[in-house]
Amino acid sequence: MLHGALALLSRSLREGARFRRAHAFRIISLLIVLGMLAAAQAGAGSVGAPGLRFFELICFLIVALITLAGFSFFATPISEEKDDGTLALLKLADLSPLSMLLGKSTSRLAAALLLFVGLFPFSLLAVTLGGVTVHQVWSAFVALAAYMVLVANVGLLCSVISPNSRAAAALMFLITLLFLGLVPLLHSSYGLYRWDDSRTLIGDLAVACRPVVGFVHDASVIVRLQSILATGFDASAVSVQVLASLGGGAACFAAAWLLFDRCTETAVSGRPFRSGPTGTSARFFRVPRLVWRVWRWPLVWKDYHFIAGGPLITAMKLVLYPALIVLIIWQEDWLFALFYVSSFDAAWGATAVIAVCELIYYASSMFQHERRAGALPTLVLLPYSTWTLTAAKATGCLLGGIPTALLIGFLSVVLVDDSLAANPWRVEGIVALLVLLAVLLQITALNSLVVRWGAAPLAVAILLIAGGCLLPALGAIMALLAEPDASEYAELVPVLYAGGVLTVILQFLIGNRLRAAAAA
């Protein structure tokens, strides 16, 4: 029964060993750790416990990377076979569900653990900087390894029960948001509930779910790392978090094994699985699409209708987005009691989240549809330059963001903050975030030409790693420009310059990769 699993595992490990990009990623990760170590050593004289600060940064960076890998790398071992229509071939080869699960998931977990283990000896160098002990380093890596096992197996379960890779990534995102967002909210709400006589829905829910919320809170890797990095930590490396993560990972793997046949019986026809209702029920769930005559610019028309959603989705946004702002203003007292935020901050925060999510979706889908459909060669053969093609597709996607742009304009007029223009620091922060967002979108578009799924999480991971290396140097340059007689916005010059240089480089890489992907 395990012969097929060992064959799949051996094949995956051999492919990973011959994959130059994987080795390059490991080397770059080690160089980044060494660079962070050198920076911590350079600032050891001005910062208390530099080793602890350095190791804390390493730990939470690894948590972020593992979480991002859960949306793409760990969430697609089985769903990618459904997308390619090759799951039927694996079943025809007389491979049992256990063999496929072990062969497809264990190789990914092993590859991630190899990178993880390679960072351990270099993290021990934090002990020489002071503020952290070997026991703390060992305990933190045990907690991180258990968290990786949990994320890998939850992603495997999502991959089995989801019809395609996009649905698996979305389900994994919702589960992560539930445990890293809702559970801490309920835990903090229960603490406020004991000191406040006012009853709210969240408070009542926190009291009702107190045992479960308390257990999940104790099993959180964030809480565990905070306790490990505290001064004087001497507890055992095996904790509730480690046992709960390993147990949860085993339970998710068992659930994926039991549900494998039932969830994959519709994906064995030898062609990619297409989500959506079929048969008689399709008449009741089909959404009418308003497709008008092709415009003068066909690429703009195509991406507006088939990526941005077309006029129907635009009309829905024009109704739903203002309704959301009205709801936020209407429930201002409830928001302040629960989250301690004003209606101004909540409205702008919701708008920012909507805008960023839309832009990331457009950037990741702009080339992905043609790449998956094999239409990139046809696209490149059009009598347009690469820059013109990219600009036309980006314009079509951005037309779907008109409701969001109108919402931002409305908030700028109605909910304007008079202190914004009088505070250069806030203006500089907004400009820096916009530059960072522009770089993130271009990295996402580039990744969509390289990887099949997970372009956005990979872009965030690249930005986190590269930002950890570049931000100290950029901050030093900005500090040199912060002189009393200098302009209030002089510190924005290196930010805009770095953003411009990165934009030119990324546009060059996108053009080269687009031509290479079309020729492949």
Token pair for residue 276?
């959506």
Token pair for residue 293?
């005559």
Give the number of other CB atoms < 10 A from CB of residue 166. 17
Q: Check whether 422 has a pLDDT greater than 70.
A: no
Alpha-carbon span 424 to 467, nearest angstrom: 23
Alpha-carbon span 518 to 263, nearest angstrom: 34
Exposure string for 271-300, b = 16+ CB within 10 A, e = fewer: eebeeeeeeeeeeeeeeeeeeeeeeeeebb
Question: 432 to each of 47, 428, 436, 459, how far by Cα in Å?
Answer: 26, 6, 6, 18
Per-residue confidence (pLDDT) for residue 253, from 0 to 100: 92
For residue 249, what pLDDT band results from cuts at 50, 70 and 90?
very high
Q: Check whether 147 has a pLDDT greater than 90.
A: yes
* Dihedral (CA of 519, 447, 394, 494) sign: negative
If you search the block for the tokens 């209702």, which residue do you land on?
277
**DSSP tag of 286:** P
Per-residue confidence (pLDDT) for residue 271, from 0 to 100: 46
- Which of helix, strand or coil describes residue 139? helix
- Per-residue model confidence as pLDDT tens digits over 426-444: 777 788 889 889 999 999 9
Least confident residue range of 112-116, 181-185, 318-322, 328-332: 181-185
- Per-residue model confidence as pLDDT tens digits over 165-211: 878 888 888 888 777 766 666 555 555 544 444 445 455 555 556 66
Distance from the Cα of residue 28 to its chain's centroid: 20
Alpha helices (H) along 366-423: 368-373, 376-380, 386-399, 402-414
Helices (H) and strands (E) in the chain, counts: 26, 0
Q: Are 288 and 194 in contact (CB under 8 A)?
A: no
Among 468, 516, 473, CA closest to 498: 473
Question: 319 to each of 10, 87, 312, 330, 407, how far by Cα in Å?
Answer: 53, 42, 11, 17, 11
Alpha-carbon span 166 to 72, nearest angstrom: 9
Concatenating the DSSP letter of every residue in 266-278 gives TS-SSS----S--
- Per-residue model confidence as pLDDT tens digits over 200-216: 545 555 555 666 667 77
